[in-house]
Chain A
């Protein structure tokens, strides 16, 4: 009953006309910056932080939160329509979402993303309301060894991201990990692989890599055959999901929501794994894994739900313990402090209106997002009827300005050129870009946690199997590899058998 009373407090705060307005402003702005590649929620929130000085704390935080989950929502749109993921999470959506768009099913793909996200957002908000403090406390059991094992599991399970050669997928992951090493070593400050360029000290920009290997490489592929065939489909079959589509997305949405909610709670960067993990999982358990990478709607539904659920639950460590799970949450903490509220375990008791207001506003914001985005689908799909020769220069323009505006660093623009070329070359050689991106995102985390675990254990690698959570995760990782290798081994044996026959 206390929950109902609390939610009552929250609703009265969230439904206050001013807060409602700024919640809308937040999600609208978030959707906008999410759709535009480059300018992500971090930059937007950092830019808008000073403006929120003059707001009431609850209004300010409702708007900033809206920008964050709104951007998660919008990020999938460009990934689906033009293969241009703006964030690590939407890189996964691009795999099957863009394939669906090419088959004229951009409408259902976008609708799936919107509905999946809304469902996941609702569930994750409920989790936040019901069990935030105990969950945050449980998540603290994750130390460096556990994170290391979790990332290893994530990396090995993600071999499923590729639909071609397993060996090449592994090689692309390792290449991504290596690229993630570029920049200053966080433990000693030593610059690595920077060739003396000061601009590379903070590492290669993720958006540049993503835009290069996905967006630019795809444009180059499309330019190959432009004399013989037109790129993209002119015929758009339908805008909405069919009955069969609905049936296919229900289970992936549920699983994605569960997976994303759990990973999002981990304050050490679990949320970045959520969409990758969901995709791998869906492909693994699918009866038709061969359809993944060729426009499987499950490959959009699962990751999109997981991503949004993770985004939502990543508020849990911030709201209940005052610790940030990622840069956006760090900015939110900054917003708290600037508003004169010390983030930490006291917020829930000292500032109930703020705490519950933010939580309820998340649900309200998600509702707004779905209402805002569903009618937009028609408009977005129309975008695809623009001739490609007009569309692709615009994509290039958005990508260039977007990447440059993140840090006003021209190296981020040059990186698009380099990764566009490398991406194109490798794609032509049968290597897929998604595993590379995953490795790139997780590389620095993997190294950080490995080194920290070794310091804590005083150089004893047994720490990874002695700690129960870590051991279980590693066991899963081994199982993932075995399951991935077994079918091909069996197939080989069958082939040999046939030849002998």
Chain B
């Protein structure tokens, strides 16, 4: 049987350009696998990736290397992996930004649904609405009123076009029907610096970045954007509790391979991902970051693809309404 498969594949290979790949896939992986992270090292997406890279590497029997290709809201890395050989040796970890890039960047060099094979969802990181320590409003309800009344003086920080904090801000503004001045930064670190220094008023970012500062009282925490309260931040109400049900957002992460990657390779990668998501250490560490792995049904190519296309349709009107497309 195996011989037959090999023969068929060999025949297919002769008529296709992917000759080298077809021969290589049976014993994939034979060399280290690189996961490209579209954001800087040390950030939340990077951390999530590095945490699952270790157990994935044990399952694949090859080293899994994490490479950071930061820039342009993650589209730089997306373009790189979309153009990489479809052999499963270079895959992409991307978050919610994958679903917003087609709208944010009208000239995007790739199509998220067509230029990638989905491997599976990874996790859905909750977000928190926070403000500088001395910002006037004390509760989420007060914040909404305050922002609506002072729309022309309030400033909102985000970590750059396409970053989770940018999207969360758009959704918030769309939910409360108010536009405020947005100050972009290169990553969450500098944005947090200016928030701590009181240079900007408020922002919304993943728990991975904000939990430490909220619990120590360095910043004011208002709400979490999930349906339920979080174990790590039990005092923060959900946005729904605070009366803004339509403002719910999570930074979901998924793994992608270039389009045309052989199904056998995708299968192996999905299996490795699922193993990693059941790893004790991964579960504990995710919990410390205020998140948890997705269910095994969601860590599949099918669920991933369905969710991605649903998210693309969700974000397109919000971004278009805000007119926040990048000028290319």
Q: In the complex, A touching B, CB below 8 Å?
A: yes
Q: Which A positions have Cβ atoms within 8 angstroms of B?
A: 46, 49-50, 53, 140-144, 183-184, 186-191, 198, 201-202, 267-268, 317, 321-324, 327, 330-335, 337-338, 340, 342-346, 448, 452, 455-456, 458
Specify the chain B residue showing the minimal Cβ separation from A136.
B196
**Which residues of chain B come closer than 8 Å to A455, judged between CB atoms?**
155, 181-183
Per-residue contact bits, chain B 188-216, to A (CB 8 Å; 1 contact, 0 not): 01101110111110000000100111011
Smallest CB separation, A320 vs chain B (Å): 10
Docked Cα-Cα span, A104 to B189, in Å, equals 46
Cβ–Cβ contact A334 & B41, under 8 A: yes
Cβ–Cβ contact B183 & A46, under 8 A: no
**Which residues of chain A come closer than 8 Å to B246, judged between CB atoms?**
none
Per-residue contact bits, chain B 123-159, to A (CB 8 Å; 1 contact, 0 not): 0000000000000000000000000000000010000
Specify the chain B residue showing the minimal Cβ separation from A139.
B197
Smallest CB separation, A13 vs chain B (Å): 22
Contact of B212 among A188, A335, A342 (CB under 8 A): A342
B288 close to A (CB within 8 Å):
yes
**Which residues of chain B come closer than 8 Å to A184, judged between CB atoms?**
71-72, 76
Cβ–Cβ contact A332 & B212, under 8 A: no
Cβ–Cβ contact B76 & A201, under 8 A: yes
Docked Cα-Cα span, A340 to B72, in Å, equals 29
State whether A140 and B212 are in contact (beta carbons under 8 Å apart), knowing that A49-B50, A50-B66 are contacts in the complex. Answer: no
Cβ–Cβ contact A189 & B75, under 8 A: yes
Cβ–Cβ contact A50 & B196, under 8 A: no
B319 close to A (CB within 8 Å):
no
Cβ–Cβ contact B212 & A189, under 8 A: no
Cβ–Cβ contact A53 & B43, under 8 A: no
Extra inter-chain contacts (13) besides given A141-B197, A187-B161, CB under 8 Å: A144-B194, A186-B160, A186-B184, A187-B184, A188-B161, A189-B328, A198-B80, A202-B71, A267-B190, A323-B192, A323-B196, A324-B189, A330-B41
The bracket for how many chain B residues form the interface is 35 or more
Most chain A beta-carbon neighbours within 10 Å: one of B109, B160, B193: B193
SS of B interface (majority):
mixed
Cβ–Cβ contact B200 & A140, under 8 A: no
Smallest CB separation, B217 vs chain A (Å): 8
Smallest CB separation, B75 vs chain A (Å): 7
Docked Cα-Cα span, A267 to B196, in Å, equals 12
Cβ–Cβ contact B42 & A334, under 8 A: yes
26 residue pairs of the A-B complex, CB under 8 angstroms, read A46-B41, A46-B68, A49-B50, A144-B194, A144-B199, A184-B71, A187-B161, A187-B184, A188-B327, A189-B162, A189-B326, A202-B71, A321-B193, A321-B218, A323-B190, A323-B196, A327-B40, A330-B41, A330-B189, A334-B43, A335-B42, A342-B211, A343-B212, A456-B181, A456-B199, A456-B200
Cβ–Cβ contact A346 & B216, under 8 A: yes
Docked Cα-Cα span, A69 to B226, in Å, equals 42
**Which residues of chain B come closer than 8 Å to A337, judged between CB atoms?**
42, 47, 208, 289
Specify the chain A residue showing the minimal Cβ separation from B183.
A455
Docked Cα-Cα span, A332 to B160, in Å, equals 22
Smallest CB separation, B151 vs chain A (Å): 13
State whether A332 and B79 are in contact (beta carbons under 8 Å apart), knowing that A189-B328, A344-B212, A344-B216 are contacts in the complex. Answer: no
Docked Cα-Cα span, A183 to B46, in Å, equals 23
Cβ–Cβ contact B285 & A186, under 8 A: no
Smallest CB separation, B266 vs chain A (Å): 24
Cβ–Cβ contact A189 & B47, under 8 A: no
Cβ–Cβ contact B71 & A201, under 8 A: yes
From 32 to 82 in chain B, residues with beta carbon under 8 angstroms from any chain A beta carbon are 40-43, 46-47, 50-51, 53-54, 65-66, 68-73, 75-76, 79-80
Specify the chain B residue showing the minimal Cβ separation from A336.
B42
